[in-house]
Amino acid sequence: MPRTRGASASTPKGLNAFDGMRGIWDSTAMTSTQGLVDGLDAVVTRRFAASGVAWWRQTLERLTGADPGGLAEAFTAASRKVGRQPLALTADERHALTRLGMAEAMIDRSTTDEAARIALLLAVAVGKDGLDLERLVDDVYQSGDNSERQAVLRALALLPEPERFVTLAAEACRSHVQPLFEAIACENPYPAAHFPELNFNQMVIKALFTGVPLARVIGLAARITPELVRMANDYASERTAAGRSVPPDIALITSAGGHRP
């Protein structure tokens, strides 16, 4: 079952990017989604070659209108239209996006095509009653190439009612495509906010197993449970029995007592 923790309309905004974002969604989800679309739109537009701007304007207009059709096609085309370079945000842009709820660690690693794709997904999600967003997101993900899938995973926490995407996110954790795994496990607030304990723990152990620094897992400290501590200790024991080294950052888990889930 999806897990929602500490989220309520009274959550004060702006404590940190992550908590602030959850507070915004629970109170005025649509306005905030629109705010994010506008924020990302501004960032992406500035990075377009002149020839791409018309396409971008048209596409956004169509998708924010009544018709979400064409999302998959636009989603795919975005990387060719806007390029794949690092976002390299100005201080003002960075400030604006984090204030709108995007995780700092995530946008610092983001690229122009990823930002454009997140904006497209959010644009579709804004204020359309009866839209089967779950199915639309799933379709874009399943038919996507690796970089499209990564953008979907980066967007999940920003979409309205994000807990409905737990199955998709957990499936991404099972992937052998390491960049895909990292798109959900690293610099992404989604797992800590929405994963049930089992999925969260498996993700963290897989991060250890695949050599991902645990510091990249957002919200880890608050999700350490006695079970995760046991799993990490067992992993260290298995590595030792095999005559292999134990990653030093495992101590982030094993030296914590573990909160009750």
Residues of this chain that bind another protein (CB under 8 A): 142, 167, 170-171, 174-177, 198-199, 202, 205-206, 209, 231, 234-235, 237-238, 241-243
Q: Cβ of residue 199: shortest distance to another protein, in angstroms?
A: 7
Nearer to another protein by Cβ, of 49 and 242: the residue is: 242
Kindly list the distances between the CA atom of residue 116 and the CA atoms of 24, 65, 120, 131, 163, in Å, as whole numbers in the listed order: 22, 17, 6, 21, 23
Nearer to another protein by Cβ, of 188 and 199: the residue is: 199
Q: By the 8 A CB rule, do 68 and 137 touch? A: no
Q: Cβ of residue 113: shortest distance to another protein, in angstroms?
A: 21
Nearer to another protein by Cβ, of 50 and 242: the residue is: 242
Q: Cβ of residue 94: shortest distance to another protein, in angstroms?
A: 33
3-state secondary structure 180-217: HHHHHHCCCCHHHHHCCHHHHHHHHHHHHHCCCCHHHC
Nearer to another protein by Cβ, of 110 and 150: the residue is: 150
Nearer to another protein by Cβ, of 58 and 167: the residue is: 167
Provide the Cα torsion 189, 193, 194, 200; round to 10°.
80
Q: By the 8 A CB rule, do 163 and 135 touch? A: no
Q: Cβ of residue 178: shortest distance to another protein, in angstroms?
A: 11
Helix (H) or strand (E) holding 140: helix 133-142
Nearer to another protein by Cβ, of 56 and 141: the residue is: 141
Q: Cβ of residue 166: shortest distance to another protein, in angstroms?
A: 12
Helix (H) or strand (E) holding 249: none
Q: Cβ of residue 214: shortest distance to another protein, in angstroms?
A: 14
| Distance of alpha carbon 134 from alpha carbon 111, whole angstroms | 25
Q: Which residues contact 261 (CB under 8 A, 6 or more apart)?
A: 197, 225, 227
CB atoms closer than 10 angstroms to residue 11? 17
Q: Cβ of residue 152: shortest distance to another protein, in angstroms?
A: 14
| Distance of alpha carbon 163 from alpha carbon 59, whole angstroms | 27
Query: Tokens 């990653």 map to which residue?
Result: 247
Nearer to another protein by Cβ, of 102 and 186: the residue is: 186
